[in-house]
Structure 1
Amino acid sequence: MIKNLPIFKALEHDRWVRPFLRQYKKSLIVAIFLGIMTYVAGAGLMFTSGYLISKAATKPENILLIYVPIVLTRAFGIARPTFRYLERLVSHNWVLKMTSKLRKRLYDSLEQDAVFFNSKYQLGDILGLLSDDVSHIQNLYLRSIFPMLVSWGLYAIIVIGLGVISPLMGLWMLLVFGLIIFAIPIWSVLVNGARQVYRKQLQDELYVDLTDNVMGVSDWVLSGRGNEYLDLHVNNQEKLLKVHLKMAKFERLRDLCLQLLYLLGIISLIVWGAATFGGHPSAATNWIAAFVLAVFPVVDALAQLPGAAQETNVYQDSLVRLNNLPETKKSQSQKIELAAPYKLELDQVRYTYPGQSKEILQGISLEIDQGEKLAILGKSGSGKSTLASLLRGDRIPTAGSIKLNGISTSEFGDQMPDYIAVINQTPYLFNTTIANNLRLGNEEASDEQLWDALERVGLKQMIEKLPNKLETMVQEAGLRFSGGERHRLALARVLLKNSPIVLLDEPTVGLDPITEQAVINTIMGQLADKSLIWITHHLQGIDLMDRVIFLEDGELTMQGSPKELWDSQERFRQLKKADQGL
């Protein structure tokens, strides 16, 4: 029955969590042992305290009958918090080790597909993956698996301990506590677990809808459908409230059943104690008090099981989603060493996104020689960005090949920046110092090299005037600097990296014409000895390029030098005049 529960089915083929059970098996065993001993010490404390209190109320036959329980009470009183503290240290250390590696694995899995991740997942799904799933795995252990294993250990101790004294009482406790440990949690999973899954689905839908629709709220308003959106949101909230009320009603019924079972167990111990020790009224009182009080700490261990069990349905969703992520590719073990001249060759390159039928690139063949300045033009959706990702090796062509000096670009992995550097539309600067941002290009760069790179991009004088100079904080996303300054800092990073090929992916979008031309002049001047691949959708600075190609619907429709295209292609002349506002 237990193996048929959803969480166990999810764990059966799991490749994210189960490996850590084997890797940290010893720590897990120690944590479970310490957890059991915590409740054993608690039960021992209540047992000896109950015996001591009742025994002290009568005239003891021997002082040892009082002194020994006093010593045991102190010992158990010290042992309980000690075991508890050690259990928390071991279990949390175990879980934090596991989740830190899970987060790294999650990042590696997403990072290898980061360029096109947004095209495959909605924003709400991405946030859910990053913020919820690993935390759910952590809670699966701390709030479900650990308490479950500890309760099983206590169950065995209770049944065996009472069975040694009285086999019949041992069998009765086997039944009563079996209902508490197994039957009630399974009932919770089957009834309330399904409702909890439905509640989480509603919450996820609300989150995704809220994320997407708030970003597009202007579209709702402009289309006159604002009330429709509000009604949709209110209806989903009402569904969520109904599920919550049903769950609360069931939990009250379940807790009542638990309390009745606890009461049955306590009454059973009282009756059994009276029957077993009834021949000695004073002794009967002492032992009954001891056994009954010892049950209460055990109740604390078992009370959390039903709630923890029903939560496993939520954890199951996270397990399934994590296991559906792509396997992390093994990093390149052998370093690739290339020598100049560097030549990129595209041979009949075709590409179709996974799960789609439309071919984005259709048989592109191209050669880019050392030092050549190539512009790739085309409107949005023509395949420019896809081609850029293929050139960087982030994607593998559906057909054909892209090779740098005879080696497929997809084989370079983390070594690709050594040969192809990138300046994007919005260069990202981290919330750290200018020096740290620049050293992303070269970790070993000296301050003199940093100043030289800044001088080459025209930022040295401006940064020298700042109070902290190179130690000035950039602020998140580089908001301290203007768009043109951010592009120049990104160029300085590329200069420090000294890659032979530089890919410019719409590097001047969003800049005013004067700043744009200044950035273009700086880029062309400082990268004169590099191979340049400039992806753009307009023709500002196009005359500085050696060759221009046009992409349209994934095909090459025009190519040649700017002068050749001006002389032979009417369409090129019209586009250039339109771009210049003529």
Structure 2
Amino acid sequence: MFKKVPLLRALKHDRWVRPYLHHYRKTLILAISLGIITFICGGGLMFCAGFLISKSATHPENILLVYVPIVLTRAFGIARPAFRYVERLVSHNWVLKMTSRLRQKLYDSLEEDATIFNSKYQLGDILGLLSDDVHHIQNFYLRTIFPMLVAWGLFAIIVIALGILSPLMGLWMLLVFALMIIAIPLWSVLVNGARQEYEKQVKDDLYVNLTDNVLGVGDWVLAGRGKEYLQLHDENELQVLATEKAMHRFERLRDFLVQMLVLLMAVSLLFWGAARFGGQPGGPANWIAAFVLAVFPLIDAFAPLPAAAQETNVYTKSLVRLNGLNAGQSVPTTNVPQLAGPYEIRVKDLHYTYPHTKRPVLRGIDLTIKPGEKLAILGKSGAGKSTLAALLRGDRVPTSGAVTLNGVATSQFGDHIAGYIGVINQQPYLFNTTVANNIRLGNEEASDDQVWDVLKRVGLAEMVKALPHGIETKVDEAGLRFSGGERHRLALARILLKDTPIVLLDEPTVGLDPITEQAVIDTILNQLAGKNLIWITHHLQGIERFDQVVFIEDGQLEMHGKPAELWANNARYRELKKADQGL
């Protein structure tokens, strides 16, 4: 959870947006000026039209009293949409140019500091960051900063102009407009802004929960907890709906009060115009109509401010989160030790908590994976299996405890860890290039003979030979030319070409039918014999061929031992094994 930070303080320490405020300050000033001129033209149009209509209903003393308002009405009528169009072009150009730089900076931050970034955020949080935060910064300027500055400029002009005509009326309008652009927006920030911030937090939780649960939906189904999964999702949705209903009730009340203030302005100008211009030739009606009608287009500049102001809490949180991306220091990867085999992985009193959520994921994990040993990690969705895998590979830094490879913390290797640990994900990705290029991701210097050798080892040589151009055949985007089992075998071919001593497999057979799954398991275990093998799975098929089996639940090791020993001594393991086999 983020601490509540006032918007001004967030902007003061901002390293993302402030540079562009200075760099594009001329464009910013131009956009605000055009916005003020647009509303002045709108007010001038209605002022002249009101005067013209009422004046034309009487006998004008001079034709210029009608002709001049006609010309001004036409001039303001043309100028208003023209200035509005140019203002939208300038303001949106400024904002979109700024946010495009922000997105580029965000992606650069992810690329340059992937380990720290991944340690601070879960996948659902990253989706929220990428989809919401920069978008919120964009809306912050288009819906809050620009309209607020335009409104304040109009506020000053209106109060000064009316103050010159009548100091008392100027003071009255100062009070009424202040209620509309200061008091009610502040009320919205304090009341509805808090609800909106809570709504965003609930939606962020939905990102996390939905991501975790969808990726692990097989675990829910296998455990017979499908109804529980739907109930959990419905509860989160109901929280969002309840908050939205409360916000809508407040918004209706707030909008009613704003309309009452508009009515108060119109009535005030009506009586003031009658008193101030009652002695003018032709009566006060001409000026009453002009002043009263001039109010209505100006309201468009003031009425949206309360709704825009209440979102500043959300904008502040997004700004703080963006500025917090590089708050930590990258793990140094210089002078990485060159390790010699055999390789042993030790996990000692491992604890891990995501800094963003403060939710503990792993608690007190102790493991030793000896050279050449095969370890299977089991657990339901959200138990911490994938987090443990990321810690083993050094993609995350432990909150406390240690994960070491031959005594060196895996987080210290950085990108060099790829020379020791290879990974096969649950959905191996194939790029839209040749088969050979996809396999050579494991070793760019590999010859064609070496490529054919690993294809033969994974049982794909005959299939690839039958392709139009053999290993030079281009695959479709994401490898859709191949079946799921074939994509997994191609991923294994990459690993064989890389020849890393340790291989981590994250749900490598998910989505495969039982026959293909067993074939892929046999191929992987046969071809990776003698290597350290870490297998993350929710299926127990082929589990008896592993040296160790651990079951993680609520971030702790609930079962740990050899498959035969667990079958003999652990009733829960037997139940899981039978359920997996459909017995």
Aligned partner of 1:60: which letter? I
Match of 1:258 in 2: 258
2:96 equivalent to 1:92? yes
Is 1:22–2:18 an aligned residue pair? yes
Give, in whole Å, the separation in 1 of the partners of 2:374 and 2:506.
Answer: 10
Matched, 1:79 2:75: no
Tell me which residue corresponds to 1:422: 422
Which residue does 1:51 correspond to in 2? Answer: 48
Residues 14 and 323, structure 2, Cα contact 8 Å, conserved in 1: no
State the Cα distance separating 1:47 from its structure 2 match.
Answer: 1.0
Counterparts of 1:185 and 1:458 in 2: how far apart (Å)?
68
Shift of 1:299: 0.7
Between the aligned partners of 1:42 and 1:203, the Cα distance in structure 2 is 37
Correspondence 1:533 to 2:535: no
What is the SS of the residue equivalent to 2:63? coil
Where do residues 258-337 of structure 1 align in structure 2 (5 Å cutoff)?
A: 258-281=258-281, 289-313=289-313, 322=321, 329-331=328-330
Q: Distance in 2 between matches of 1:194 and 1:72?
A: 41
Matched, 1:360 2:326: no
Measured after TM superposition, the shift of residue 347 of structure 1 is 7.5
Contact 2:163 2:171 in 1 (8 A): yes
- Aligned-partner SS, 1:503: strand
CA RMSD of aligned residues (A): 5.6
Is the Cα–Cα contact under 8 Å of residues 42 and 77 in structure 1 kept in the other structure? Answer: no
DSSP 3-state at the match of 1:505: strand
Secondary structure, aligned partner of 1:281: coil
Taking only the aligned residue pairs, the percentage that are identical comes to 39
Q: 1:512 to 1:84 in 2, by over 3 A?
A: closer
Distance 2:237 2:347 in 1: 50
1:352–1:361 CA contact under 8 A, matched in 2: no
1:194-213 superposed Cα distances (whole Å, 9 cap, x missing partner): 55566667778889888889
Which of 36, 40, 53 is the equivalent residue of 2:37? 40
Tell me which amino acid in the other structure corresponds to 2:351.
T
Q: Secondary structure at the match of 1:463?
A: helix
**Partner in structure 1 of residue 357 of structure 2:** none
CA–CA distance in 2 between the matches of 1:324 and 1:22?
A: 11
Matches within 5 A, 1:210-225: 215=217
How far off its partner does 1:300 sit? 0.6
- TM-score (ref. length: structure 1): 0.68
Amino acid aligned to 2:260: L
Aligned partners of 2:488 and 2:520 also within 8 Å: no
Unaligned runs of 5+ in 1: 1-5, 369-373, 525-530, 543-547, 560-569
By how many angstroms is 1:411 displaced?
A: 2.2
Q: Confirm or deny: 8 A CA contact 2:7 2:312 kept in the other structure.
A: no
Write the deviation string for residues 262-316 of structure 1: whole angstroms up to 9, x where unpaired: 1222333344445555553359666555544443332111111222233445556
Local SS of the residue matching 1:471: coil
Which residue does 1:516 correspond to in 2? Answer: 521
Moved more, 56-65 or 217-226: 217-226
Could you list the per-position Cα deviations for residues 349-405 of structure 1 after superposition, in whole angstroms to 9, with x for gaps in the alignment? 54233447942126x596x6xxxxx1234664799988865553234564567357x
Task: Check 1:161–1:91 CA distance in 2 against 1; reply closer, same or farther (3 A cut).
Answer: farther
Task: Give yes or no for contact 1:43–1:294 (8 Å, CA) kept in 2.
Answer: no
Distance (Å, rounded) in 2 between the aligned partners of 1:167 and 1:335: 72
Rate the CA distance shift 1:517–1:32 in 2: closer, same or farther, 3 A. Answer: same
Question: Which stretch of the first structure deviates more once superposed, 67-76 or 260-269?
Answer: 67-76
Change (3 A) 1:71 1:449: farther
Selected match of 2:404 from 402, 412, 422: 402
Cα 1:306–1:360 shift into 2, 3 Å: same
Task: Report deviation, 1:90.
Answer: 1.7
The answer to whether the Cα contact below 8 Å between 2:421 and 2:501 also exists between their aligned partners in 1 is yes
Q: TM-score, normalised by structure 2?
A: 0.68
Between the two proteins, the alignment pairs up a number of residues equal to 533
CA displacement 1:556-579 (0-9 Å, x = unmatched): x999xxxxxxxxxx979x99xx99
Cα deviation for residue 459 of structure 1 reads 2.9
Alignment of 1:444-483 (within 5 A): 454=455, 457-466=458-467, 470-473=473-476, 475=478, 481-483=482-484
Choose the corresponding residue for 2:373, options 372, 375, 386: 375
Distance change >3 Å, CA 108–CA 174, structure 1 → 2: farther
